[in-house]
Structure 1
Amino acid sequence: MNPQALHGHLDALLLAVLEGGPLHGYAIIEALKGRSGGVLNLPTGTIYPALRRMERAGYVDSSWSRVNGRERRTYRLTGAGHRALVAERTGWQEFSSTVGRFLGGVEPPHAPA
C-alpha cells in the first residue's frame, strides 16, 4: 500500500488497535499487519513517532515493564483517546460515504433540468 494513502489516518488506526487493550509497540505493529491481512506492514520509524505524538496529545499513555528480561513500553488509550476514536470513526464514515458516491461505481441520479 502506498504510504501516502495513510496520510491523516495513522492515528485513527493506532487508536482502533489500542481500543482492544494495552499493547507494546511491536504488538501494535503486528496487530496492524494482522488486521489488514498484511497490507499494513509499517516500520517502527512510522509507528513509534506517532505513538509519542499521541501521548503528548493525551490520547494514549504508556508505562515501562520488563518482559522476559527486556524492557517494553506498553501503550493504552486514555479517555481522550476513546473520544478521539469516536470522532475519527464518525469522520471516516462521512468521508468514505462521500468518496463512495464518486468511486463506488454507481452513477448518481441526474438533477432535473
Structure 2
Amino acid sequence: MTQDALKERLSKRAKAFISTPELVDDGNLTIAVNEAIELAGEESPLPVLTDIAFYRFLLLVETNGIDEVHLKAYKVALNQITDPASPNAKTKAKAKPRDNQYL
C-alpha cells in the first residue's frame, strides 16, 4: 500500500475519532504514517500499519493524554510486529537450540 493511501485511511479514522477535526492536518498524518512504516515495514498487513499509525497520531495530537485503553491497543498493535510467534512479526527467533541443555 502506498503512503498516500495509508494517510487517507488514517485521516478518515482520525476525523471520526477526534472531537476536534482541525487537529487532523497533513503534517501530523505524515509523521504518524512515516513512524508506522518505520516501525512495521511497508510489507506489514494494512490493519497493523493503520493501527500503529493511528496510535502514533494520537500520541502527537491528543491534548488530554492517552488513556490506558489507547496504550493497551497500541501495545497489541506493536506486539503483532515484535512477537516472533506472531504471523506478522518483523523479528524472528534466531536462537539456536543447544545440543546439551546443561551448557
Between structures 1 and 2, the one with greater helix share: 2
With normalisation by structure 1, the TM-score equals 0.32
Between structures 1 and 2, the one with greater strand share: 1
**Rg larger in structure:** 1
Q: Which has the higher contact order (CA 8 A, sep 6+)?
A: 1
